[in-house]
Amino acid sequence: MGTLANTANIYSNTMRVSLGGDVLPRSVVSFWSSMGAPARTRNGKLWSSGFACEGGRGITPMGDYHAPVMPDECLAGLMPGEGKIIVDLTLGGGGHSEKLLQEGATVYGFDQDLEAIQFASERLARFGSQFIPVHSNFCRVAEELALRGVTQVDGVLIDLGVSSRQLDAAERGFSFMREGPLDMRMDATDSTLPTAADWVNTKDMEELMRVFFDYGEEKFSRRIAREIVDRRVSNPFETTAELADLIERIAPRRGPKHPATRVFQALRIAVNRELEVLESVLHSLPTLLVDGGRAAIITFHSLEDRAVKVYFHRCSTATLDDPTWPEPKPNPEYVFSLPRRKPYLPSDSEVRTNPRARSAKVRIAERLPRF
Cβ atoms of residues 66 and 356 within 8 Å:
yes
Residue 50: pLDDT over 90: no
What's the pLDDT at 285?
Answer: 97
What's the pLDDT at 310?
Answer: 96
Domains annotated for the chain, with CATH where assigned, are 1-63 (no CATH), 71-163+275-367 (3.40.50.150), 187-271 (1.10.150.170)
Q: Encode pLDDT of 103-138 as tens digits.
A: 999 999 999 888 899 999 999 999 999 999 999 988
Tell me what percent of the residues of the chain surpass a pLDDT of 90.
64
- What is the mean predicted confidence (pLDDT) over 140-159? 96
* Parallel/antiparallel/unpaired status of strands 329-330 and 131-135: unpaired
Which helix (H) or strand (E) element contains residue 221? Answer: helix 221-232
Residue 45: pLDDT over 60: no
Q: Which DSSP string corresponds to 245-307?
A: HHHHHHS---SSS-TTHHHHHHHHHHHTTHHHHHHHHHHHHHHHEEEEEEEEEEE-SHHHHHH
Q: Report the interhelical angle of 221-232 vs 205-216 (nearest 10°).
A: 140
Distances, alpha carbon 370 to alpha carbons 80, 313, 335, in Å: 21, 19, 8
Stronger pLDDT, 47 or 91, i.e. the higher one: 91
Q: Encode pLDDT of 310-331 as tens digits.
A: 999 999 999 999 999 999 999 9
- What is the mean predicted confidence (pLDDT) over 163-170? 68
Q: Which of 251, 254, 264 shows the shortest CA–CA distance to 211?
A: 264
Q: Dihedral sign, CA of 203, 206, 207, 209?
A: positive
Structure confidence at residue 267 as a pLDDT band (50, 70, 90): very high
Residue 166: pLDDT over 60: yes
What's the pLDDT at 168?
Answer: 67
What's the pLDDT at 37?
Answer: 35
Residue 165: pLDDT over 90: no
What's the pLDDT at 316?
Answer: 97
- What is the mean predicted confidence (pLDDT) over 180-207? 89
Q: Encode pLDDT of 229-260 as tens digits.
A: 999 999 999 999 999 999 999 887 777 788 99
Cβ atoms of residues 89 and 65 within 8 Å:
no
Tell me what percent of the residues of the chain surpass a pLDDT of 70.
80
Q: Which of 14-23, 111-120, 132-141, 300-309 has the lowest mean pLDDT?
A: 14-23
Structure confidence at residue 19 as a pLDDT band (50, 70, 90): very low
Please tell me whether residue 72 adopts helix, strand or coil conformation. Answer: helix
What's the pLDDT at 292?
Answer: 97
